[in-house]
Chains A and B, each alone.
Chain A
Amino acid sequence: MNDVRIITGNEAAAQAVKLAKPGVIAAYPITPQTSLAELLSEYVERGELKAEYVRVESEHSSLTVCISASTVGARVFTATSSNGLLYMHEQLHWASGSRLPVVMCCVNRGVGAPWSIFNDQQDSFSQRDTGWIQIYCRDNQEILDTVIQAYRIAEEVYIPVMVCYDGFILSHTMMPVEIPDSGLIEKFLPPYRPHTILSSDDPKTINPVFFPSRRENSKGVLCDGYMEMRYKLQAAFEKSREIIVAASNEWAALTGRDHGGMIWEYKTEDAELVLTGMGSIATEATMAVDALRDERIRAGVVGIRTYRPFPKEDVAQAFKKAKAIVVFEKCISYGYEGGLCSDLKAAFYGTDVRAPIHNYIAGLGGRDVKTGELVDAARATLDTVGSGETGNKTIWLNCHTGIEAEDRG
């Protein structure tokens, strides 16, 4: 009999962590991640999870504890949200630069100022370039499955993985989730083997100052300089695509659940209007597509599951037949446009994908995103493109801008 429980996204993540059996957990509570940190401390306290739960005074420290424990060979876990993630910023670079397979959940929340405790994706988006793999989940089952896959990926390519899911929309919403049995996890997830073994018999200095040039060490070995070490991280990212897809496929073979490795598609076979996004807004877009298809509009969704490494080849293929593209985003690169939109445009450059792209910035700071609004936005894009307008646009969805005030004035 399958163990299916009605649980929140945070509990799905906690259950996954329990199955992955990390040796060390360090987390500092922050809304909307809090119940995840609390559940894990309960599991440890009750003896259900034999891990060291380190209480810390900040997020900077929680990730530092994970970095230290991972360095000496422990599987680790941490989780945070919003300004907590921003406070980790420096250590995010240390974790990836040290090539430590830390797994972290980012329960997506808007960042201050002004304060918001509600959902958008500005927190993890603004950490895009810290050298972490980022995977965005659509529902609670995917959260559980992705956390387990994240350990497999991280420990194979030695890149930390951030599993991102929308605060409240997923973290605090209950859904049926199947909990795999531990035997299956053992089959899927081999024990963690650190890339560098520290031992007093063979002392090493970790992360000393690296010089611009390569250097000869005391044994006469020509050692990498800073730039070579950084290239190794980028090369590992390039390789990680196939590892992410392989982990996803193998998990699907074991459980019957396939969330897509890099991207997922919904009704795209004949779609001329393609909607895209990451996380729960992309799930919302699938409902918008159903409504558009009721109006005989051939619409589909390409969901971005893995944002870093960016699925450049997958999207160039998936959007090939699109006549109009709508990108819904819960974050923005201020002074330009949504980051996903920019990344897609870059991936399309030099390919056959030349459809106009409309970028909708939506749901910042928890503003509700209704299916009907996505339907209207997508239809408006299709009408604009249909009338011969080929330009790209950035539109703030359901936002009362000063432009409207002038119109009213």
Chain B
Amino acid sequence: MKNSDTNVSGVCTPSAGEAGKTGEWRDVRPVIDSTKCIPELKGKPACFLCWLYCPDGVVSMTIPVEIDMDYCKGCGICAEECPPNAIKMVREVDIDE
């Protein structure tokens, strides 16, 4: 049995996963097309508007760009902001794994 919560009032520690794996809330998933993504095309750090706009901070500023599906809630802001439309929102039920 895990420790029980000894807090008198409602507190949490500001860290990843404090509210559980919020990626479970996702209905649609951002899928990146590497043939259109600017940093990948140019091979250097550029654009990263998806990283900048992500309200959950789950997009990496790396080449290739990666999205942490444990915490991505599928809001679609990255897809909305992506200049070359490299990100598509795909329904989770339509993804084969």
Contact = CB atoms under 8 A, between A and B. Distances in A.
A211 B19 CA distance: 9
B95 interface: no
A229 B17 contact: no
Interface in A141-174: 158
Contact of B12 (A99, A100, A214, A223): A223
A73 to B, nearest CB: 14
Given A218-B18, A221-B3, A208 B12 contact: yes
Nearest to A215: B20
B9 A98 contact: yes
B11 interface: yes
B42 interface: no
Interface of B is mostly: loop
B9 A204 contact: no
A206 interface: yes
B11 A196 contact: yes
Contact of A196 (B4, B5, B7, B17): B7
B9 A218 contact: no
Nearest to A232: B8
Interface string B1-43: 0111101111111111111100000000000000000000000
A216 interface: yes
Given A223-B5, A224-B5, A218 B10 contact: no
Give the interface size bracket for A toward B. 20 to 34
A224 B36 CA distance: 45
B3 A217 contact: no
Contacts of B13: 202-205, 217-219
Contacts of B15: 218
A202 B11 CA distance: 12
A98 B9 CA distance: 5
A207 B11 CA distance: 5
A228 B14 contact: no
B22 to A, nearest CB: 10
Contacts of A211: 19-20
Contact of B9 (A207, A217, A220): A207
B23 to A, nearest CB: 14
The 3 closest A-B pairs by CB, nearest first: A195-B8, A218-B17, A224-B5
Interface of B: 2-5, 7-20
